[in-house]
Amino acid sequence: MSADSHEQRRKRRLRFTIAHEFGHYLLHRKKYPDGIQSSEADVDGRTKIQVEREANEFASWLLMPLDDFRKQASPKDKPDFDVLGNCADRYEVSLVATILRWLQYTERRALLVTSVDGFVKWLWSSNPGPDQ
């Protein structure tokens, strides 16, 4: 993956954000006709997390079609940052979004850990089958 400029990263983030918001529109407009408000009084914490995950998943499916993605990084392969970086370039999304997409379908045990100043900020794991 080429070193992205600040402007390239901003464009990739904006691309995913637009797809995410489009997902909210398609998935949630009937259930929340007045929109989804950020305050706890409007939407409880668990519901908010679920709604955001659904919009993120929609954006992933829209921007990184599974059939094509699997051709770039097979579910059985052990991809490296070059392979996943090439996918990020191909779909014009961030490397984190690309890795999260790969974690959804890989048959390998894998984990993405993000940290700040040596402290884990959040993590996400693959869900390998029982034979793994």
Q: What is 67-118 written as a DSSP string?
A: HHHHHHS-TTS---HHHHHHHHHHHT--HHHHHHHHHHH-SS--EEEEEETT
Instruction: Report yes or no on 122 lying in a domain.
Output: no
Q: Does any domain span residue 125?
A: no
- Residue 111 maps to a domain: no
Query: Domain residues for 53?
Result: 6-106
This prediction has a pTM of 0.80
Q: Does 87 map to a domain?
A: yes
pLDDT digits (tens, 9 = 90+) for 33-64: 777 665 544 556 677 788 999 999 999 999 99
Domain assignment of residue 54, yes or no: yes
Indicate whether 113 pLDDT > 90.
yes
Residue 128 lies in a domain: no
- Count up the domains in the chain and report the number: 1
132 found inside a domain: no
